[in-house]
């Protein structure tokens, strides 16, 4: 059985002058533990697809089932809870909170979920160590390099021990060497945490390292 199952997914955006049909009857099945790359030109809807899969937005029609949860069946509050507990996000721009240091940023999803402070701190410490940032734990984002900020974002994405990792151009704002290092980290975390991962990327090296590559074009997914 697939861990992520999508059928007949459609998403339309209405602007002042036109109707944009971004996703057209998209179907995808992702097996448990699989790492899938989504490639395609800028603006074709890769981010939209990930936002729908992770419950950040709702489809106009079609079904998305993650594990045994049909996202259509969830009200707004339940969708937020599902997203926080079961989905880890890594974006092109890290979206760290500037007023908090690295360890506080990593803890934040657990704080939102009202996890005990001691457990939240220990998980954050462990993850920052795993991504090589133990000595930077008390640094705020403006004191970290771009690659370090993305490593904090990866740790934050994993702190709730999600089953699904969604990464949207995670190396798009990094230089080649730093991007390659982050590729390696994402693959290692995928294996170590038993994740199912879907990664939207322009980077051919990251895509080639995945189990499968799909291309989003004209609103539909096809094998690349």
* Nearest partner of 104 among 151, 141, 64, judged by Cα: 141
pLDDT tens profile 86-127? 999 988 777 899 999 999 999 988 888 888 888 889 989 988
pLDDT tens profile 35-69? 999 998 888 889 999 999 999 899 999 999 999 99
- Within 10 angstroms of residue 189's Cβ, the number of other Cβ atoms is 21
Strands of the sheet with 61-66, listed across from one edge: 19-30, 4-14, 61-66, 69-70
User: Can you tell me the mean pLDDT for 9-22?
Assistant: 87
Our count of domains for the chain comes to: 1
pTM: 0.89
* Nearest partner of 224 among 41, 16, 4, judged by Cα: 41
- The residue segments making up the domain with residue 204 are 4-223
* Nearest partner of 129 among 95, 110, 106, judged by Cα: 106
How much is the pLDDT for 181? 82
- 8: Cβ contacts below 8 Å, ≥ 6 apart: 25, 26, 27, 61, 62, 63
Sign of CA dihedral 97, 103, 109, 113: negative
């Amino acid at each position: 059985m697939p861990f992520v199952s999508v059928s007949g997914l459609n998403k339309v955006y209405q602007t002042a002058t036109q109707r944009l049909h971004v996703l057209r009857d998209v179907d995808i099945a992702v097996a448990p533990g699989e790492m899938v790359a989504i490639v395609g030109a800028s603006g074709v809807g890769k981010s939209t697809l990930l936002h729908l899969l992770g419950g950040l937005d709702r489809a106009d029609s079609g079904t998305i089932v993650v594990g045994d949860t049909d996202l259509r069946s969830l009200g707004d509050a339940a969708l937020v809870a599902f997203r926080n507990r079961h989905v880890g996000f890594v974006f092109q721009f890290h979206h760290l909170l500037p007023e908090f240091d690295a360890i506080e940023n990593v803890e934040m999803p657990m704080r939102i979920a009202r996890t005990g402070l001691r457990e939240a701190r220990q998980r954050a410490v462990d993850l920052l160590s795993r991504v090589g940032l133990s000595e930077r734990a008390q640094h705020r984002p403006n004191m970290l390099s771009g690659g370090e900020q993305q490593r904090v974002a990866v740790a934050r994405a994993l702190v709730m021990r999600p089953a699904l990792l969604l990464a949207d151009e995670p190396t798009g704002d990094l230089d080649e060497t730093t991007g390659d290092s982050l590729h390696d980290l994402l693959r290692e975390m995928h294996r170590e945490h038993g994740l199912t991962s879907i990664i939207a990327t322009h980077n051919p090296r990251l895509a080639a390292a995945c189990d499968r590559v799909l291309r989003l074009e004209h609103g539909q997914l096809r094998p690349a």
